[in-house]
Structure 1
Amino acid sequence: MCPKQGRAATLFDKRYLYRLFTKISYSLRAANGGSILPANSAILRDFPARWFLFWLVIPNAAFMLMWFVGGPPMVPVFALWAVIAIVAAQLPWTWPKRLILAGLICYAAFYYVCVLFNLDIGKFDSLLPFLLEIQPFRSPEYIVAFAVFVATAGLALAKAPHVRRFASPMSYCLAVLGTMGLLTADYIATKDTRSTYSRVPPEGAQFTSASTLASIMRPDESGRHLVIVMVEGWGVPVGETEEAIFQRAWNRPEWRDRYEVTHGAVPFYGSTTSGELRELCGRYAAYSHVGQFAEDCLPARYRKAGYETSAYHGFSRNFFSREQWYPQIGFDEFAFRDDLAGRGVSHCDGVFAGACDREVPALITQRLKHADAPQLVYFLTLNTHLPIKDDPALGTDDCRLGGHAWASANPQLCRLFLLQGQLADALDAMAMDPDLPPTDVLVVGDHFPPFFDRNDRSRFQPGVVPWLFLSSRDRSPTVIAGADDPEAES
């Protein structure tokens, strides 16, 4: 029976669908003694429930639990997983099935961690050093997540290889339908936070960076010092309380007496290294490709113009191979965790343990004051990498920003803003030092704060990071013009 043509009755007319559904229900009830689905229904009998449970749901339960707090979307992995699992479950051998499932679990975990931290999925060799360096078991959140993952993976590996093979062609169809239901659930559950996990720009995206907007990609003729500060996990707040805290830290009236202040927001894609190349090399790219464009990067251009170029970062020099590609893009000198400790910078504990960010601007200030040539100084921060511990050394053990009620309800947010405020205070002391030579300062975020919790993520504008540029009103040269190029330091 087909619906009538015209506006009054179409296939999608609610009244027509209701009548059609009613007729089908009556027919099924009449045929099955009053029940729409009889006890021996082929659908119930052929549905591969144990396969769906032990091959698909339980091994992915840890990822699915993250739906409730805002985990990353897993649709591509779940779809690939289901196809392989349907085929593997039909094998007659137990151990091959167990090995295939173990491989699926490992790949899903790798994908999840990469997406969670905006890492490059194509660089398989980067994950193990990443996990070893960050020491995840310092965080209760990571410990709980790991325990759930191990428990569900172990149960699946024990049970899935013993699931019976599909009974009929209908079982395959129902397995596909069940998978589609899981994919739909993942899509709906991660819809609100999907845009906060941007790893690559969409095709045809126009490039934008704070460095280009501040017009510092090439040195001007003033010869002023330039300091670039990239802030780990610096987002654009949208909540009333969060924005008020942000403004108190980063919108200081006294700066306008000495600097021309501009600010805004730029898109981000990927991890911290992606943010570094966005600002230092003017492109969306991976650090493994810097050899293709190193001479066009900002440090290389400034070095060629007679600047001494240096970089500071409070973490390991080997992390993401920075010791290798920093010199390639034009840095003559760099100081990492051990170097900064040797210069008296305190150690700050945490999941990412290293030098205390709040003490590095004082080192930069001394460098600028005593320089014999114009300086380009780059500082990549560390301590605001999430999750942030309740730590007296960091000063995060009694955070009271935003009032007692807000701080108690949002401990991770409070700690993040507290450490960012410490950094802003240190940069303020540098920028307003009366003996500081004419210096421009660019402060910019690397990526969105990667909170686990959906509620915390919702406090920031997705897809963008803030930037702030302090351009010195003193246009006199920083040092005597005509200084020779500095010798490179190892």
Structure 2
Amino acid sequence: MPLRHGSAASAAALRSLRRATALVRSSVPLLVGGLVLPNALALAFGILAGVPARTSAIALYAALALLGGRLPGWALALLALPVIVLDLALAVGRMFFLDTDALLHLIDAGTLATLLATPAYAAGAAAVVGLALVYLAVLVQAGPAMRRGSRPVFAAAVAALLVGDGVVNGSTAYDFGALASVGQPFHSGSLASGFDALADQSRPPHRVLMVMVESLGVLRDAGQNGILTAPFDDPALRRLYTVTTGTSAFFGATASGEMRELCRTYRSHRQVFTQAFTQVFTGQTSAEDDPTCLPKRLAARGYRTVSVHGYHAGFYDRAQWYPLAGFRKSLFGETLAPRFARACGGPFPGPCDTDVAAVVEAELAAPGPAFVYWLTLNSHVPVPPGAATPRHDCGRPGSPFADREVCAMVEIWQDVFAAVSRIALAHPGTEILLVGDHAPPLWRRAARDAFEPGRVPWIRLAPLPVATAALP
């Protein structure tokens, strides 16, 4: 009897195993079409680098798969197209601190062509398109097979992927888009440093310079941060200026950083200046709706107000809203590029920041009081290798920056810092503020984690009385 009982138990176990195997086998098309294919690229990229959590996209792909065999294949593929676009928009937006509205306003044919000229972005785009075509083809052909899949098996797999995605990719380093500013107390480097108050002084300084440094984040390592800011430790500079530093919160991408530092608001330029256009046509004004931007306040006091940026005037609609913010003169890439024999590459190619520094200095040195605003360009991600003055043996043993990409960005920022230091020495008495627009949106998780999430640094160079007294 015991032997017969054991044989029966073994047979039952074998039958259960066969049923389970058959269940899983029948579920393969559903698992492939609902989870593997639509999420394969994000899974691979998440392992190699890092992506934001994609909870809504994973759930939508799973819901589409459950319609397999119930709808014609072509209808299922049509439904999948907007999900793919939404998935891509949300992932890219979170990586680069852009809300969907801002992303739609930025991406046009010209911008796409420029980005796709960058090998890293071109490879990513090719991978997205290729995998999307395979996914759509499977939806068209495999609907009936997907319908035969086990719902419990599929539900368990979806739950496991959602949990794993949240654990691996749920980093707060991505959660600083413009919408995250709602309900948050306002902070800016301009206010915290006292720089914004210069326009309200009874005797404002003769020269004022604000430098917004592209993707300048707060390094977690104090030693690395000290290396970055070394250009401002020059004893000659310290005899002329008091150097103070700090950090402030950021929300959104570059244009949000500009509105934060220039106009004392977390609202976007579209929100603020669309209202301004409306008020011009209706004759209605509202002090609450007027951000009282720093260049406008200084222009009212007789300053020449000049903006300098190496990219084209249409990006972020700067040609339209810069004059409304108070800039009487703006120099963009269209004007600057012909002045220089060389250009710097990257996803947004244009004049090299080290060359543009000479234009900034010339505008400061022109007769009369001046406020010059310089938005740098060359430290957009991904930074091409060898784009800056080599200082730190990037990628080699013994470098103070273990991560090669972080090291390359530091070298670009130091080129800007060195240029600003030279301007400060050449023109004593100049009030100077350097501030980051947002943390660097680096792709790899280790590189991104080298920076404090949600913070940008500011550096204020305030003239000492001896330097101010020397002014003509």
**TM score, norm. by length of structure 1:** 0.82
* Residues 1:84 and 1:123: Cα distance change in structure 2 (over 3 Å): farther
RMSD, matched Cα: 3.0
SS of residue in 1 equivalent to 2:217: coil
The reply on whether 1:222 has 2:218 as its aligned counterpart is no
Alignment-derived partner of residue 453 in structure 2: 462
1:10-409 alignment, distance < 5 Å: 33-34=12-13, 37-41=16-20, 44=23, 48-68=27-47, 69-87=49-67, 89-123=68-102, 125-129=104-108, 132=111, 135-165=114-144, 171-191=150-170, 193-199=171-177, 200-201=179-180, 203-218=182-197, 219=199, 220-224=201-205, 225-239=207-221, 242-291=224-273, 292=275, 293-344=289-340, 346-372=342-368, 374-391=369-386, 394-395=387-388, 400-401=392-393, 404-405=396-397
Deviates more, 1:278-287 or 1:54-63: 54-63
Distance, in Å, in 2 between the alignment partners of 1:222 and 1:176 is 69
Greater CA drift, 328-337 or 116-125: 116-125
- Deviation of 1:45 after TM superposition, in Å, equals 5.7
Name the SS for the 1:230 alignment partner. strand
1:227 is paired with a residue whose SS is strand
**Residues in 2 aligned to 1:86 and 1:477: alpha-carbon distance in whole angstroms:** 76
Tell me whether 336-345 or 375-384 shows the greater mean CA deviation. 336-345
Alpha-carbon deviation of 1:177? Answer: 3.3
In structure 2, the partner of 1:22 is none
Quick one: which amino acid aligns to residue 326 of structure 2? G
Task: Pick closer, same or farther for the CA change 1:354–1:403 going to 2, 3 Å.
Answer: closer
In structure 2, the residue matched to 1:6 is none
Identify the range of structure 1 (212-221 vs 132-141) with the bigger mean alpha-carbon deviation. 132-141
1:337-390 Cα deviation digits (max 9, x unpaired):
121124447422222101111122322222222222x21111100001111113
Greater displacement, 341-350 / 420-429: 341-350
* Contact 2:181-2:251 at 8 Å conserved across structures: no
Among 389, 403, 412, the residue aligned to 1:410: 403
Please tell me the residue identity of whatever aligns with 1:106.
V
Distance 1:367 1:146, change over 3 A: closer
Give the direction of change, closer, same or farther, for the CA distance of 1:53–1:264 in structure 2 (3 Å limit).
same
Question: In the alignment, is residue 419 of structure 1 matched against residue 412 of structure 2?
Answer: yes
Q: What's the offset of the Cα at 1:473?
A: 1.9
CA separation in 2, counterparts of 1:259 and 1:441? Answer: 10
- Cα offset for 1:287? 1.8
Amino acid corresponding to residue 431 of structure 1 in structure 2? A
Q: 1 or 2, which has the higher helix percentage?
A: 2
3-state SS of paired residue (1:348): coil
Q: Deviations over 1:3-34 (max 9, x none)?
A: xxxxxxxxxxxxxxxxxxxxxxxxxx959724
How far, CA to CA, are the matches of 1:330 and 1:91 in structure 2?
A: 59
Find the aligned partners of 2:269 and 2:204 in 1 and give their Cα distance.
29
Instruction: Measure, in 2, the Cα distance between the counterparts of 1:235 and 1:331.
Output: 26
Q: 1:133 to 1:443 in 2, by over 3 A?
A: farther
Deviation of 1:416 after TM superposition, in Å, equals 0.9
- Once residues 109 and 251 of structure 2 are traced to their aligned partners in structure 1, the CA distance between those partners, rounded to angstroms, is 19
Q: Does structure 2 retain, via aligned residues, the 8 Å contact 1:73–1:187? A: yes
Q: What secondary structure does 1:39 align onto? A: helix
Alpha-carbon distance change, 81 to 282 in structure 1, aligned in 2, over 3 angstroms: farther
What amino acid does structure 2 have at the position aligned with 1:429?
Answer: R
SS in 2 for 1:260: strand
AA aligned to 1:379 is: W
Task: Give the Cα–Cα distance (whole angstroms) in 2 for the partners of residues 36 and 354 of structure 1.
Answer: 68
Which runs of 5 or more residues in structure 1 are unaligned? 1-28, 481-490
> How many angstroms apart in 2 are the aligned matches of 1:41 and 1:145?
38
Name the counterpart of 1:20.
Answer: none
Contact 1:62 1:145 in 2 (8 A): no
What secondary structure sits across from 2:18 in the alignment? coil
Q: Provide, for residues 428-467 of structure 1, a one-character-per-residue CA deviation record: whole Å limited to 9, x for no partner.
A: 110011xx25221000001111111111112112211110
Moved more, 209-218 or 416-425: 209-218
In structure 2, distance between residues paired with 1:112 and 1:251: 40
Identity, in percent, stands at 28
| Match 2:462 to one of 462, 471, 490 | 471
TM-score in terms of structure 2 length = 0.84
1:43-64 Cα shifts (integer Å, max 9, x gaps)? 9369743122123321221122
- Confirm or deny: 8 A CA contact 1:82 1:179 kept in the other structure: yes
1:203–1:295 Cα change, 3 Å: closer
Is contact 2:394-2:408 (8 Å) kept?
Answer: no
Aligned to 1:26: none
Task: Tell me the equivalent position of 1:16.
Answer: none
Aligned residue identity for 2:253:
S
Q: Partners of 1:437 and 1:223 in 2: how far apart?
A: 15
Confirm or deny: 8 A CA contact 1:236 1:465 kept in the other structure. yes
Q: Secondary structure at the match of 1:254?
A: helix
Is the Cα–Cα contact under 8 Å of residues 294 and 328 in structure 1 kept in the other structure? Answer: no
CA distance change for structure 1 residues 406 and 289 in 2, over 3 Å: closer, same or farther?
farther
Cα deviation for residue 323 of structure 1 reads 0.6
How far apart are the structure 2 equivalents of 1:376 and 1:66? 44
Task: Note the residue ranges of structure 2 that are not aligned, 5 or more in a row.
Answer: 1-7, 276-288
Cα–Cα, structure 1 residues 252 and 76, in superposed 2: closer, same or farther, change >3 Å? farther
